[in-house]
Amino acid sequence: MQEHPFAGYIRALGKGPQGSRALTLGESAAAMRMILAGEVQPVQLGAFLTLMRVKIETPAEVAGLALAAREHVQCLSPDARVRLDWSSYAGKRRQLPWFVLAALLLASHGRTGFLHATEGYDPARIFAPQALRALGIPASRSLAEAAARIEACGFAYVELRDLSPRLHELLQLKALLGLRSPVHTLIRMLDPMRAAASIQGIFHPHYHVLHQQAAALLGDARCAVVKGDGGESERNPDLPCRVKWLLDGATSDEDWPALFDGPRHPQDARMDVSRLRSVWFGETSDTYGEAAVVGTAAIALKAIGDAQDNADAQRQASELWQRRDTAWLRRAGAPVSQELAEARP
């Protein structure tokens, strides 16, 4: 029986402690292209994802996987004029997804944003699409529709199942493998709209520097990687926040202080997603939530180059929140044309 073309990648990863090695950027990109094209057998796919997960991905491997995935989604040109890419694939279980309000806050003040996300694999978590629906922001069903929404109001989001059914299918393999896989890493770096900057949330500390270095290898210009609350792109105001920066090609680290003194806020027992809307409209207040919104927006402002340091970023973010245009949320929920609403990737 002739050896399958994909077998060499599995052999490189799994040939034992003396014979195994990491893949090069080019090899990992080629392997991912085969996976996305459906050119590998299920047993090969499981072996590949598991072996890479066990040894932990290298920056070059992540960059190669992300490069192939970016090609796969046929990213739009920079003419889409997106300033900030938000990826959301972890979900929140302790506090509401306040980072969604941070993204909307910036978009309502001219900092265009695009969010790509998934939901539903863990019923104990609240995912970004649930929050956006509760806020009255409809999902775009294609990048074309998203571009039109961004042009109209400054913000759009697409669920992964519409952006790429194949990547969505690969992400769902966690339920079969019992493990997160390299897909959970590369998907945060997908950047479908080729934004000027991205903000990426991680949970496991090792992936902090991994995302930063992979972004540099991909040639991304600006990126902020944060150990966010629950693994999302959200600053936890109760804790210091380490930010791994990629700013105009240069990497650096920065520690942002906690925004509260004293004990950590208790877990939100209700997780009532409708509260996001009432806080936006000023109908209710939430000390923790508003600090998370402002603190996350501050990091994003520095990521896009609109703030020189964290004190300036925090001040600007606070001012934006205080003078937010609450009516913008209703305008952002307005429908687009039927032609765009029916568009598909």
Reply yes or no on whether the pLDDT at 341 is more than 70. no
Class of domain 78-331: alpha beta
Q: What is the pLDDT of residue 314?
A: 98
The 3-class secondary structure across 297-320, one letter per residue, is HHHHHHHCCCCCCHHHHHHHHHHH
Q: What percent of the chain has pLDDT over 90?
A: 87
Confidence of residue 334 (pLDDT cuts 50, 70, 90): confident
Reply yes or no on whether the pLDDT at 229 is more than 60. yes
Buried b vs exposed e over 68-96: b needs ≥16 C-beta within 10 Å? bbbebbebbeeebebbbbbbbbbbbeebb
* Distance set, CA 286 to CA 20, 237, 270, 273, 317 (Å): 52, 13, 13, 13, 16
* Contact status, residue 87 vs residue 215, Cβ threshold 8 Å: no
| Beta strand extents in 30-184 (DSSP E only) | 84-88, 113-117, 155-159
Long-range contacts, stretch 202-208, CB < 8 angstroms, 24+ apart: 202/226, 202/227, 202/228, 202/231, 203/90, 203/227, 203/228, 203/230, 203/231, 206/56, 208/242, 208/244
The overall average pLDDT reported for the chain is 93
* Contact status, residue 146 vs residue 156, Cβ threshold 8 Å: yes
Query: 48-57, 79-88, 243-252: which has the minimum mean pLDDT?
Result: 79-88
Q: What is the pLDDT of residue 235?
A: 97
Angle, CA 221 vertex, CA 220 and CA 222 arms, to 5°: 105
Mean pLDDT of 215-230: 96
Give the pLDDT confidence of 23-57 residue by residue, as tens digits. 999 999 999 999 999 999 999 999 999 999 999 99
CA distance 325 to 171: 36
Confidence of residue 70 (pLDDT cuts 50, 70, 90): very high
Supply the CATH classification number for the domain 7-72.
Answer: 1.20.970.10
* Contact status, residue 89 vs residue 119, Cβ threshold 8 Å: no
Confidence of residue 275 (pLDDT cuts 50, 70, 90): very high
Q: What is the pLDDT of residue 338?
A: 57
Confidence of residue 255 (pLDDT cuts 50, 70, 90): very high
Q: What is the pLDDT of residue 345?
A: 44
Confidence of residue 344 (pLDDT cuts 50, 70, 90): very low
Confidence of residue 200 (pLDDT cuts 50, 70, 90): very high
Q: What is the pLDDT of residue 17?
A: 85
Give the pLDDT confidence of 180-193 residue by residue, as tens digits. 899 999 999 999 99
304 or 180, greater pLDDT:
304
CA distance 294 to 235: 9
Mean pLDDT of 245-255: 96
Domain ranges (residues) in the chain:
7-72, 78-331
Q: What predicted TM-score, i.e. pTM, was given to this entire model?
A: 0.94
Reply yes or no on whether the pLDDT at 122 is more than 90. no
